Amino acid sequence: MQNVVFDTNVYISAFITRGGKAEQAWGLALEGKVEVCTSVAILTEMAGKLREKFHWRDGLIKATITHIAKTAKVIKPSIKINILADEPDNRILECAQGAGAEIIVTGDKHLLDLVAFEGIKIIRIADFLKL
């Protein structure tokens, strides 16, 4: 089974855009076809964006995070990475490295520009679904 890290934008798309590619990707995790790993930093960033950009209520945000935490493996990365200007992008890399992930799934241009990080492929949702 592949060990994968979803970027914050993948989670947000999965829970906001019904029937979209991100929801399909999350479905693979729910079906146990991939092992998704996340971190408190990723979940915290997601909660903030859902609150600020999408005006979700705290109860719905908490329920969503609980849902993710029941499916994904929540890890605490032991290393700090500081190679990208956008701090949250570094948290994605830390999680992927700490989890021993094979793939990072993202729509973030800065992460996609890396193509790979220490042997971890960085790909779009559409390419992930083709695997």
- Report H helices in 5-57: 8-16, 21-30, 40-52
Query: Residue 7 in contact with residue 37, Cβ under 8 Å?
Result: no
CA–CA separation, 128 and 121 (whole Å)? 10
**Tens-binned pLDDT, residue by residue, of the chain (131 aa):** 899 999 999 999 999 999 999 999 999 999 999 999 999 999 999 999 999 999 999 999 999 999 999 999 999 999 999 999 999 999 999 999 999 999 999 999 999 999 999 999 999 999 999 98
Superfamily of domain 2-130: 5'-nuclease (3.40.50.1010)
pLDDT at 28: 96
pLDDT at 110: 95
pLDDT at 1: 85
